[in-house]
């Protein structure tokens, strides 16, 4: 079937729905976008038009291509308008009951062969699919924000999903110029699970001491400096939380934590909760860990190499342990885990390769050392890390 005949339906015209519609239209599909909020439809249409005009002005797209892309998308006012779709991707509010209702309505509208997918970041695909009689065609297709620019897509089969459909969606994502990885239907899938210590361990270090105080470890400016300059990450954890929004990042952490039956390894931070409660959300509110007002004076990092190395080692070892545990629990293949962290969150290298480079025995002893100091299950190592440490 040509792209033109393979029709895509999108439910939700917010940040993600609009971005996914653009990706599908760029790949040549006809796309219908539905949203219950008429304003969201108008806004997303207008934003796309403005974006395409900018791309044409900058000579990054021809006027003809931009016109074709735009004309392939229709913004529709009823869910029934998605009836002729071959694949529907839902990107509405992160609420299980509302998503289930949409899936059960969709099931009665579309053909038997139509694939139904959710872009959920944190809900279980099995729970969403429970609202459908035919669960074989329900899956997760998880894009990253902004969808047109982020290459990674996690494709997630639920318990009852037909794996042949997973294979065809993986192929389809490649045609959309994306990097698909397949993940188990577990909390946070690959990226949002493995990345937790990037924020959590950084917050933990910060909670122990601020810049200017004699005790403690380091403040957020120093942690960010170390992770960027020594660790090679594009952004430090605090800059990134400010960019994502403390409310959004906290909600993901809390949801992963509760979905893991309150495993202490994923425990959220009181500090971040307070920032979120106070409305210090980050860039979008003008104030987060950093002050985004004009001429604001920023806290200076302590550029102490030895301290910086300690910070990076601690956070990176915790990340490596998560990645190794994800291999152990068969959340995804080792290759997909490496790809996911590089292409989904721009990590400077794959965490498994990084573990090898440092030496798994060193990673193990670093975390065991933390366990000795804090005596918390948060510093629990994966059985596979112990095995690889013995072999390294």
Ligand X SMILES: NC(=O)c1ccc[n+]([C@@H]2O[C@H](COP(=O)([O-])OP(=O)(O)OC[C@H]3O[C@@H](n4cnc5c(N)ncnc54)[C@H](O)[C@@H]3O)[C@@H](O)[C@H]2O)c1
In the sheet where 179-182 sits, what is the strand order?
A: 73-76, 31-34, 8-11, 87-90, 115-118, 138-143, 152-157, 179-182
Smallest gap, in angstroms, from Cβ of residue 118 to ligand X?
A: 7
Catalytic-labelled residue, pool 142, 321, 338, 382? 142
Nearer to ligand X (CB atom), residue 94 or residue 291: 94
CA atoms within 13 A on the CB side of 303: 4
Nearer to ligand X (CB atom), residue 117 or residue 332: 117
Partners of 179 in the β-ladder: 152
Smallest gap, in angstroms, from Cβ of residue 278 to ligand X?
A: 22
- Which residue's Cβ lies closest to ligand X? 14
Binding footprint of ligand X on the chain (CB under 6 A): 11-17, 34-37, 40, 91-94, 98, 102, 119-121, 143-145
Nearer to ligand X (CB atom), residue 99 or residue 314: 99
Q: Tell me if residue 95 is catalytic.
A: no
Partners of 10 in the β-ladder: 33, 89
Nearer to ligand X (CB atom), residue 24 or residue 102: 102
Phi first, then psi, for residue 222 (nearest 5°) are: -70, -40
Q: Tell me if residue 90 is catalytic.
A: no
Measure CA 62 to chain center. 31
Catalytic-labelled residue, pool 121, 122, 246, 269? 121
CA atoms within 13 A on the CB side of 223: 30
Angstrom distance (rounded) from CA 323 to CA 382: 9
Angstrom distance (rounded) from CA 272 to CA 255: 14
Nearer to ligand X (CB atom), residue 28 or residue 245: 245
DSSP string, 53-97: HHHHHTTSS-HHHHHHHHHTEEEESSGGGGTT-SEEEE---S-HH
223 close to 259: Cβ distance less than 8 angstroms: no
Catalytic-labelled residue, pool 129, 192, 255, 276? 192
R_g over Cα of the chain? 22
Q: Tell me if residue 71 is catalytic.
A: no
250 close to 200: Cβ distance less than 8 angstroms: no
Q: Tell me if residue 68 is catalytic.
A: no
Catalytic residue list: 121, 142, 154, 192
């Amino acid at each position: 079937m040509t792209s033109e005949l393979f029709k895509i339906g999108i439910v939700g015209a917010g940040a993600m729905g609009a971005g996914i519609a653009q990706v599908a239209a760029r790949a040549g599909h006809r796309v219908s976008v539905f949203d219950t909020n008429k304003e969201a439809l108008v806004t997303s249409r207008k934003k796309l038009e403005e974006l395409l005009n900018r791309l044409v002005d900058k000579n990054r797209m021809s006027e003809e291509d931009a016109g074709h892309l735009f004309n392939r998308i229709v913004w529709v006012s009823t869910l029934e308008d998605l009836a002729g779709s071959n694949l529907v991707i839902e990107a509405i509010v992160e609420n299980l009951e509302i998503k289930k209702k949409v899936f059960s309505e969709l099931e009665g509208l579309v053909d038997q062969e139509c694939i139904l997918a959710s872009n959920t970041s944190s809900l279980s695909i099995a729970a969403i699919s429970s609202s459908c009689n035919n669960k074989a065609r329900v899956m997760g297709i998880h894009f990253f924000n902004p969808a047109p620019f982020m290459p990674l897509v996690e494709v997630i089969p639920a318990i009852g999903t037909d794996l042949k459909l997973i294979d065809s969606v993986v192929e389809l994502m490649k045609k959309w110029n994306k990097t698909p990885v397949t993940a188990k239907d577990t909390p946070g899938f690959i990226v949002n699970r493995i990345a937790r210590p990037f924020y959590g361990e950084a917050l933990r270090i910060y909670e122990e001491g601020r810049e200017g105080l004699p005790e403690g470890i380091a403040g957020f400016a120093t942690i960010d400096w170390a992770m960027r300059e020594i660790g090679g990450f594009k952004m430090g954890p605090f800059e990134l939380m400010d960019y994502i929004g403390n409310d959004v990042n906290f909600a993901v952490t809390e949801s992963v934590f509760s979905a893991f039956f309150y495993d202490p390894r994923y425990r959220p931070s009181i500090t971040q909760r307070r920032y979120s409660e106070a409305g210090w959300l980050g860039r979008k509110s003008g104030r987060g860990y950093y002050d985004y007002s004009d001429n604001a004076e920023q806290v200076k990092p302590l550029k102490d190499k030895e301290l910086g190395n300690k910070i990076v080692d601690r956070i990176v070892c915790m990340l490596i342990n998560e990645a190794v545990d994800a291999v152990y629990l068969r959340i995804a293949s080792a290759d997909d885990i490496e790809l996911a962290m590089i292409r989904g969150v721009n990590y400077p290298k794959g965490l498994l390769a990084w573990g090898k480079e440092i030496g798994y025995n060193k990673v193990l002893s670093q975390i065991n050392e933390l366990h000795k100091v804090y005596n918390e299950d948060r510093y629990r190592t994966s059985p596979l890390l112990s095995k690889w440490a013995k072999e390294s």
